[in-house]
Amino acid sequence: MLTSKELKRFKKLHQKKHRILEQLFIAEGVKVVEEFIVEGFKPINVFADHTYEGKVSTSVYRVGSKQMEQLSAFKKSPGLLAVFEMPIKKKLNFNGWTVALDSINDPGNLGTIIRTCDWFGIDQILCSSDTVDCYNPKVVQASMGSLARVNCYYGDLGLELKSSGQVVYAADVKGEYYHEVEWPVSGILLMGSESHGISPSLKNTIHRFVHIPKSQNSRAESLNVGVSASILLSALQK
């Protein structure tokens, strides 16, 4: 069994400040854990309870169901959990496409966007400082291991966009229809928050606005930001 001191230490990793302090994060589930290991992330511990019967390419420490429930960030633990060291961040490289995120608060949306970027071969996301932490356990889970290949950078979004030297495209209801845009080979796609859209302070960094038209029969008010990003990333890949 884990000691109470060890259990307390790892449970604290559910909180952003402790993840930053220790430079550690938690990943759960066989596929997610294995993806990080394959991509060279270093697990400092891998825990499994009695429900886990599979194999991962590292040694596993068995714990009781109660301790696993305490370690897990979810109501029902998948039975396998690993604590990884955070990687050393690579330098931002604005060759090719970059996704920029302004105040994305929902962990599921960020995880979906990370996974979509991985699918379309985009390996970096630039996030405003108030966007949800990419190492939040729910983001890690929603990304389904894609976080192992997509680098997320946090900072002054306006400053980074201005200094990037790239054309910035942003989703907006008043923009051009996305399927009529001639997308270049590189640029930045900026997505705004789920509830407020793009911050007014970023408007002067945007060169072109694009819009996803809805069906004439649609009564929906808006699209989920993760879905919108997927549609636009699919379009620019063409």
What is the rounded distance in angstroms from the CA atom of residue 225 to the CA atom of residue 235?
15
Asked if 104 and 139 count as a contact pair (C-beta separation under 8 A), the reply is no
- Please provide the distance, in angstroms rounded to a whole number, between the alpha carbons at the two ends of the chain: 53
What is the rounded distance in angstroms from the CA atom of residue 185 to the CA atom of residue 96?
6
CA dist list (Å): 112 to 151, 183, 225, 227:
14, 22, 9, 8
- Are β-strands 80-85 and 24-28 bridged in parallel, bridged antiparallel, or unpaired? antiparallel
What residues have CB less than 8 Å from 145, skipping those under 6 apart? 27, 31, 32, 34, 35, 36
pLDDT given for residue 8 in this prediction:
94
Tokens 């054309």 correspond to: 167
In terms of Cα–Cα distance, which of 189, 186, 224, 196 is closest to 210? 189
The structural domains of the chain, ordered by start, are 4-85 (3.30.1330.30), 97-237 (3.40.1280.10)
Which two tokens mark 102? Answer: 């302004």
What is the rounded distance in angstroms from the CA atom of residue 215 to the CA atom of residue 16?
41
What is the rounded distance in angstroms from the CA atom of residue 72 to the CA atom of residue 67?
9
CA dist list (Å): 218 to 214, 215, 221, 223:
6, 5, 9, 11
Residue 195, judged by CB atoms within 10 A of its CB (0-12, 13-18, 19+), counts as exposed
CA dist list (Å): 22 to 15, 41, 51:
11, 15, 29
pLDDT given for residue 79 in this prediction:
87
pLDDT in tens, the chain (238 residues): 688 898 999 999 999 999 999 999 999 998 999 999 999 998 999 999 888 877 776 788 888 889 999 999 998 888 899 999 999 888 888 989 999 999 999 999 999 999 999 999 999 999 999 999 999 999 999 999 999 999 999 999 999 999 999 999 998 888 999 999 999 999 999 999 877 889 999 999 999 999 998 888 888 877 889 999 999 999 988 7
pLDDT given for residue 19 in this prediction:
97
